[in-house]
């Protein structure tokens, strides 16, 4: 048995904590998020718009964004398809938005790839993995395996102070 670790309300209320950092004010703080929905309803478009807004420091949904580098793992796309989508959204490219078509899997290099990218781009504040299934090792899809797969990504997002979707 391990000892139960507790803090009193007084200790919690008198401790100075770092303020929560939002990549999109009031919506996405640093940490891990899971975007789920039916196929072909616009999840990739939404995350691309999010990445563009962050990379340019522009508002998204009338909310301020934290400007910084964004890394988008488009693991089911081609550069031509990304180009077509970018042209539909903007005529002004950003040197802070980066795309990868391939990545290692969870526990077999993906985390190190993200850490390495962050070391090269210190202002990295947003990482999008589209789709989670493409970086998973297991073919089994259950709540337990989803949770186990997401734990290292959650820890990495906290460690690097980034938002990951």
Q: Give the pLDDT of the chain (165 residues) as one tens digit per residue.
A: 899 999 999 999 999 998 999 999 999 999 999 998 888 889 999 999 999 999 999 999 999 999 999 999 999 999 999 999 999 999 999 999 999 999 998 888 999 999 999 999 999 999 999 977 665 566 555 555 667 778 999 999 999 999 999
Contact 127, 69 (CB under 8 A): no
Containing 126, the helix (H) or strand (E) segment is strand 124-130
- CATH code given to domain 23-164: 3.40.50.300
Tokens for 81? 């398809």
Distance CA 56, CA 10 (A): 42
- Model pLDDT, residue 150: 87
Query: How much is the pLDDT for 53?
Result: 98
């Amino acid at each position: 048995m391990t000892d139960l670790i507790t803090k009193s309300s007084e200790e919690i209320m008198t401790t100075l904590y770092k303020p929560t950092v939002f990549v999109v004010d009031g919506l996405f703080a640093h940490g891990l998020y899971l975007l789920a929905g039916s196929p072909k309803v616009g999840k990739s478009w939404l995350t691309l718009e999010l990445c563009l807004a962050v990379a340019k420091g522009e508002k998204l949904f009338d909310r301020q964004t934290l400007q910084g580098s964004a890394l988008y793992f488009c693991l089911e796309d081609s550069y031509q398809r990304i180009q077509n989508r970018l042209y539909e959204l903007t005529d002004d490219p950003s040197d802070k938005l980066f795309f990868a078509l391939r990545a290692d899997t969870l526990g077999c290099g993906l985390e190190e790839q993200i850490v390495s990218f962050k070391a090269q781009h210190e202002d990295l504040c947003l990482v999008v993995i589209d789709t989670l299934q493409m970086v998973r090792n297991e073919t089994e899809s259950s709540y337990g395996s989803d949770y186990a797969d997401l734990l290292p990504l959650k820890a990495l997002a906290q460690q690097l102070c980034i938002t990951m979707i």
